Amino acid sequence: MNSGLISIELGVGLLGLLVLMADLWIAPANRRYLGWGAAAALTCLLVFGLGTLAPQSGTGFSGLYVVDPLARFFKAFFLLSGVVVLLMTVEYADRLAVGLSEFFALTLFAVTGMLFAASANDLTMMFVSLELITVTFYVLNSFQRGKLASIEAGVKYLILGALASAFMVFGIALIFGSANTTQFPELALRQRELSGSRIFLTGLALVLAGLGFKIAAFPFHGWAPDVYQGSPAPATALLAVGSKAAGFVLLLRLLLGAVPQIAAEWRGCLGGLAVLSLLYGSLCAIPQRSVKRLMGYSSIANAGFLLLGVATVSPAGSLAVLYYMGAYCFTVLAVFTVLCVVMNCSDTDDMADLAGLGIRSPVLAAVMTLALASLAGVPPLAGFIGKFLILRAVVAAGATHPGYYGLAAVAVLGAVISLYYYFGIVRMMYWGGEPRERSGIALTPGAGIALLVCVVGILYLGIAPHGLLQLSADAIAPLQPSGAAVVLSEHLGVVTSSGASR
């Protein structure tokens, strides 16, 4: 038992409790400062906790929990998005009628769940951490009780989330029944024999369906548009970034870490899901008028892009997934922060409310343009490098199966369609007809800091990708158990040969 391993998670969880307690003594008018405090504490955890205090690697709790570069990568990711979302919530505070401190606390609990998910090394651990995330989101999504759309979002997420959990539990039961273990390393050792067991494969498919819900991939995407549209903007942002990333880290650990051989056999299926998500999300985003709803569909499309990376079943693909996720984090958080600020002035998130933003607040419009351009994959922004890495992984995998060239073609198509709908928003901001209001929009310090973090991230990852690439390359190392996967080493050859040629 090594409880030092989970010091970060404990810290964030305790912080949540502390916020709840502090609520008792702080006057309602001052509660928004709790958000500042929580954000500062999370920043400290991110800078000092992750860097020095917590152990750098190790396994604990009889193998349920692991700290490795992959976990640390995602822990940093979740802490950072937690900080930005908390700052965003401070900005959004006026629109949450009651329970601001609870909103902060729930955000912290969700982040705790994500931190645990990053380290899950066992199916039960995976399930428990995912439930912690999902249950907090049931509350967060329906937080604006006065708004019908918010209640609808909560109920939809509740019902579909419960369904997904049921799938996952059933799948875990089947896996445990056939493999007699729930730990990833043991599954990895026995995957050759297990790949013949139909019960095991059914169980795995059910677990993947549950994860598909978390990442909003087709055909488990049904909840995304409504929930994105109805939830309070900070909750949507955390859902879009944190929840999706938690789904992907588990997907990587389970599919590529534990059962890479089966993943390689299922790559056609994974590629198919990626294509469907990509096309469905992109095509449905075109006619949307609500920006948050559009982001919901764009999130499905981005899940498709990320799945393309997973479907290559190669280190290059996993690397691309991590980098893409990092870039996606900053861009999506920037979009939602801008939306938060704009929605403070006008109650809706209709696209028409963005008209004239270029005149009302040039800074917000510029940040939004930058973020959308990055999402669309315009160089030299973060999103471009992410898309480039995904394309590289897919095209390189084409050497093993020509079907990957088809995936690359779909990726190009998806990128072009996405440019269309993202630039629709940009057009609205700069030359989209008469604005409904003409008053300027003031930028509060909280939103300012959040936007600054995002913009620096977008530009830094686009112009100097070296750092994050190196981190991602280190992070995917635990996904390649030595000698466990023949297929993997084949793919590795592509990367190392290109490395060796220099």
Nearest distance, CB of residue 453 and another protein, angstroms = 22
**DSSP collapsed to 3 states, 267-293:** HHHHHHHHHHHHHHHHHHHCCCCEHHH
The answer to the question of residue 469 lying near another protein (CB under 8 A) is yes
Nearest distance, CB of residue 405 and another protein, angstroms = 7
- Asked whether the beta carbons of 181 and 191 are under 8 A apart, the reply is no
CB nearer to another protein: pick between 104 and 404: 404
- Asked whether the beta carbons of 222 and 297 are under 8 A apart, the reply is no
Size of the site for another protein (CB under 8 A): 44
Q: Which stretch binds another protein (CB under 8 A): 1-9, 30-38, 132-140, 414-422?
A: 414-422
* Backbone conformation region of residue 440, classed left if phi is above 0, alpha if psi is from -120 to 50, else beta: beta
The answer to the question of residue 366 lying near another protein (CB under 8 A) is no
* Interaction mask 303-342, another protein, x per CB under 8 A: ------------xx--x---x-------------------
CB nearer to another protein: pick between 105 and 316: 316
The answer to the question of residue 380 lying near another protein (CB under 8 A) is yes
- CA-wise closest residue to 306 among 332, 284, 342, 339: 332
- Angle, alpha carbons 334-335-339 (nearest 5°): 115
Within 208-237, which residues bind another protein (CB under 8 A)? none
Q: Which of 55, 192, 470, 486 binds another protein (CB under 8 A)?
A: 470
Kindly give the pairing relationship between strand 65-67 and strand 58-60. Answer: antiparallel
- Angle, alpha carbons 339-341-346 (nearest 5°): 80
Nearest distance, CB of residue 319 and another protein, angstroms = 5
CB nearer to another protein: pick between 146 and 402: 402
Amino acid at 36: W
* Interaction mask 383-402, another protein, x per CB under 8 A: -x---xx-xx--xx-xx---
The neighbouring-strand residues paired with 58 are 67
The answer to the question of residue 500 lying near another protein (CB under 8 A) is yes
- Asked whether the beta carbons of 312 and 274 are under 8 A apart, the reply is no
Nearest distance, CB of residue 325 and another protein, angstroms = 14
Instruction: State residue 120 phi and psi, 5-degree precision.
Output: -65, 130
Within 418-447, which residues bind another protein (CB under 8 A)? 419-420, 423, 427, 430-431
DSSP helix/strand/coil, 21:
helix
Q: Which stretch binds another protein (CB under 8 A): 225-233, 274-282, 376-384, 434-442?
A: 376-384
DSSP helix/strand/coil, 146:
coil
CA–CA separation, 466 and 320 (whole Å): 13
CA–CA separation, 423 and 427 (whole Å): 6
Compute CA distances 462 → 280, 388, 392, 457, whole Å: 27, 11, 16, 8
Task: Provide CB contacts within 8 A for 66, sequence distance 6+.
Answer: 58, 59, 60, 119, 120, 121, 478
Give buried/exposed letters for 481-499 (b at 16+ CB in 10 A, else e): beebbebbeebeebbeeee
Nearest distance, CB of residue 192 and another protein, angstroms = 27
The answer to the question of residue 478 lying near another protein (CB under 8 A) is no
Q: Which stretch binds another protein (CB under 8 A): 32-40, 41-49, 298-306, 493-501?
A: 493-501
The answer to the question of residue 496 lying near another protein (CB under 8 A) is yes
CB nearer to another protein: pick between 62 and 501: 501
CB nearer to another protein: pick between 432 and 457: 432
Nearest distance, CB of residue 326 and another protein, angstroms = 12
The answer to the question of residue 415 lying near another protein (CB under 8 A) is yes
Nearest distance, CB of residue 269 and another protein, angstroms = 23
Nearest distance, CB of residue 324 and another protein, angstroms = 12
**DSSP collapsed to 3 states, 79-145:** HHHHHHHHHHHHHHHHHCCCCHHHHHHHHHHHHHHHHHHHHECEHHHHHHHHHHHHHHHHHHHCCCC
Q: Which of 222, 272, 379, 481 binds another protein (CB under 8 A)?
A: 379
CB nearer to another protein: pick between 164 and 321: 321
CB nearer to another protein: pick between 108 and 306: 306
**Positions that interact with another protein (CB under 8 A):** 315-316, 319, 323, 373, 378-380, 384, 388-389, 391-392, 395-396, 398-399, 405, 408-409, 412, 415-416, 419-420, 423, 427, 430-431, 465-466, 469-470, 472-473, 494-502
